[in-house]
Chains A and B, each alone.
Chain A
Amino acid sequence: MDRERRGFVVNRVLIVLAVAAILAGLTFDQWQIVLRNAILL
């Protein structure tokens, strides 16, 4: 696989992983943890 295509694949994989991490974090209520910590400061 050439460099350009590898860049494309890595980019799309990273986007999917990032979205998956956000969703996983949300299921563990991490949004609330961030909000509470930020407001309590």
Chain B
Amino acid sequence: MKNEQWADAGEERVGSQRGMKVGMRRVWARAARYRGAVQALSALVLNSYFTQRITKGLPCPALNCYACPAAAFACPIGSLQHFIERRKVPLYVLGAVGLVGALTGRASCGWFCPFGWLQELVYKIPTPKLRLPNRFNWTRYVALGVLAVALPFVTRESWFCKLCPAGTLEAGIPMALLFADIRAMVGTLYWIKLGILGAFLAWMSVTRRPFCRWACPLGALWSPFNPVSSFRLRVEQERCTRCGRCQDVCPVDIRVYENAASGACIQCMECVGVCPEECISVTSPSWSLADDRGYG
């Protein structure tokens, strides 16, 4: 009799956990529908100008150029290079980037990065599309290691900032348009920067988020956090039919069912709502195995 009661209580608990999982999955699926609005709001807040005297000392959770006249926060990659140039250990910047990574993985790329949002908007332009495999996406680690760490250390100059297409768009072009003395300084490097921006704009109209996948050093810093972050995707492999619907809606074109905690995933949650088998969920690591917290 007692055993039956235990079994009933156990079933009830599993049932309620499953119910909570399904409910949270719907919340995430609904939230993903408003992701565009969150990205627009984030672009506005990160470039809201008026708070910059105080907030520019805070690294923002996105690649947003702080040389932009309206930028309200510091770019983490720009700040990182500044410390490396001065041969100082960037404890504060790495701590801020690490905290965001440990809490959310690469979710900032999917929800808050203005340059990521721009790439998604440009991809909506009706052009022939080119689907590229993620096989060579380790190149973003090269961008981080060479342009944002090694070259600034050796030459004492911020090489990634010099070539960054986000910086050209948000700061290089507006500053040259606004100030005559900056216009007078325009030289070969400026035209190289414009060429890089033009190439990425053309590429992002045919391929999903090329800069995030192959060139972003901030994405490279956050990628290793994906498998150990407080929130991450999980696929119930036994229910997955590998229909590919998740890859069709994925802004970085990954097969979620192959590795749900992949470093390439930007945790936009677009795949959670489209899975016909409802086998993609958001989980959080927990100590107690019996209390597997499913957040959708």
Contact = CB atoms under 8 A, between A and B. Distances in A.
A8 B286 contact: yes
A20 B99 CA distance: 10
Chain A contact surface mostly: helix
A37 to B, nearest CB: 5
B235 to A, nearest CB: 15
Contact of A4 (B92, B98, B230, B285): B285
B207 interface: no
B225 interface: yes
Interface string A8-41: 1111001101111111111010111111011101
B102 A5 contact: no
B91 A25 contact: yes
A32 B54 CA distance: 10
A7 B284 CA distance: 9
B277 interface: no
A18 B79 CA distance: 16
A28 B90 CA distance: 10
B289 A21 contact: no
Instruction: Classify chain A: how many residues form its interface, as a range.
Output: 20 to 34
B98 A41 contact: no
Contacts of A4: 285-286, 289, 292
B285 A31 contact: no
Interface residues of B, number: 41
A28 B91 CA distance: 9
Interface in B216-251: 225, 227-230
B57 A34 contact: yes
B67 interface: yes
A21 B79 contact: no
Given A34-B74, A41-B67, A18 B95 contact: yes
A27 to B, nearest CB: 9
Nearest to B59: A34
A39 B53 contact: yes
B103 interface: yes
B66 interface: yes
A40 B93 CA distance: 18
Given A14-B101, A18-B99, A19-B99, 11 more contacts: A7-B227, A14-B98, A18-B96, A18-B98, A21-B95, A22-B96, A24-B92, A33-B83, A34-B56, A35-B74, A39-B53
23 contacts: A2-B289, A4-B292, A14-B228, A15-B99, A15-B103, A15-B230, A17-B95, A18-B101, A20-B95, A21-B95, A24-B92, A25-B91, A28-B91, A28-B92, A30-B88, A30-B92, A32-B57, A37-B78, A37-B79, A37-B82, A38-B56, A38-B79, A39-B53
